[in-house]
Structures are given as structure tokens and as C-alpha cells.
Amino acid sequence: MTPELARDRIIETEALAARYGHVQALQPTDMHVGEGELVAVLGPNGAGKSTLLRALVGLTVSTGMVRFRGAPLPRGNAVAVAARGVVLVPEGRGVFGPMTVAENLELGAYRLNDRSEFERRLDRVLGLFPRLKERMSQTAGSLSGGEQQMLAVGRALMAEPKVLLLDEPSLGLAPRVVSGILETLGSLNRAGLSVLLVEQKAPLALELANRAYLLSTGRVVAEVDPREIKSHDDLAQYYFA
């Protein structure tokens, strides 16, 4: 690969692999997200989607390589990875239930010392998610599932990520709520944010994605152009080929 092409990839893996004891949850995997791309990773339960994201950000012990804008990312150090701008919205949202919405958002920007920059980021997040603005002093645990997902995304955005990784943001949410959140992700992406979106709900993710990887039993079984997937059957053929 030429250095020019390497720079076009905001994040890429080379033979990234992870195991839990005897379970090889992620086979050596090469994948990437281009600058400004929205890439979906689709696959059934247990396919290794969460393991891939956790390995990318250093929350799971892994082998192989992760590069960010061509340079190796620190391994096994999620804090250092987040400081580079690679930020994960985890499966199950990971908001701090007993803390208020405002406190959760503040935590997203805990490395920031600049008050006016903090206010600027907060205004932007609350502009994207006005529901959170009305609930700033409520505990995160008292929010609905959809609001908690907004908070999880909002908290990640407070860190001003360069690439946002999302682990099944639609899980357990009503379709209308999901489409609102995905629309917001789409508009963030159109404004320049690179996104890696893990989903089981393929049609929703494919509507937004520039490209998609299909993961099955820890392996990328196909890379697809979302425009070529018209039906569930089109997708199924990759799994049963």
C-alpha cells in the first residue's frame, strides 16, 4: 500500500485477533474505516462484533495491529486510545446511572481544562439531543432507554472523537427511537465524523453505511456495498455461501 492510501484510512487493523481462553472470538482480521466514512459491521449474536470493537480500543487483550492515521495505536490502554480520538459507545450504553445527565456529559470531557471549549461542546451536544437539555439534573438511571443511548453518544461526543465506534446502539429500543438516533449519527457523519457502527439490525445500518463488513463466527465473511443489498435474502447469501 502506498503511504498516500495509508493516510486515507483513519483506522485500520492488520491481523487483529482476540481469544477468551479457548474461544477464538476474533480470527485475524483486516478491516478499515476511511476518513469521513461510515462503516457498518453486521453479524449475528456471538459473531465477535463487540470483541472487534473492544480490541480496537484496547479493552480486550488482542494480537495483531491497529493503526490510527497510519501510526500504531497504543495497545491495551483504552485511556490513551481515547485520548487519540478513538472513542467507543459500548454495548448497553455504559452510562453512570446514579450520576446526573450533566455529570455524565462532563465525564466525557474530563481531560479538558478549557471552560469555554467545554461550553461549546456541551452546546453542540445539547443541540443534537435537546431531550438531554431538559433532563440535565436527572440521574442517568431515570432516563428511558432511548435517552440513555442519546446520553451515551453525547458523552462520547464531549471527547470530540475523530472516529466514533458504536456497539449496537439500537439494542432494546423502539424503532422510532432508533431511527432518530441513527439519523443523528448520519448527520454527524455528513459533517465529517468517521463512524464504525456495529449492528444486528442490518437494514437500518445499511441505509447509513458507505461500506459494510459481515462478521460470522469471528471472521469477516464479506465486505459489501450497501447499495447492492436490496433484501434480507441478498444478505443471507453471504452467510450461507
81 and 58 Cβ atoms separated by less than 8 Å: yes
Which DSSP string corresponds to 88-114?
EE-TT----TTSBHHHHHHHHTTT---
Binding to ligand ADP by residue 48, rule CB under 6 A?
A: yes
Kind and range of the H or E run holding 37: none
CA angle, corner 184, sides to 182 and 189, nearest 5? 95
Q: Which of 46, 72, 76, 175 binds ligand ADP (CB under 6 A)?
A: 46
Q: How far is the CB of 197 from Mg ion (least distance, A)?
A: 13
Q: How far is the CB of 190 from ligand ADP (least distance, A)?
A: 27
Q: How far is the CB of 49 from ligand ADP (least distance, A)?
A: 3
**Residue 6 CB-half CA count within 13 A:** 12
**143 backbone φψ class: left, alpha, beta (φ>0; ψ -120 to 50):** beta
Binding to Mg ion by residue 60, rule CB under 5 A?
A: no
Q: Which does 23 bind (CB under 5 to 8 A by kind): ligand ADP, Mg ion, none?
A: ligand ADP
Q: Which of 5, 15, 23, 174 binds ligand ADP (CB under 6 A)?
A: 23
Residue numbers 72-101 binding Mg ion by CB under 5 A? 91
Site residues (vs Mg ion, CB under 5 A): 49-50, 91
Site residues (vs ligand ADP, CB under 6 A): 20, 23, 25, 43, 45-51
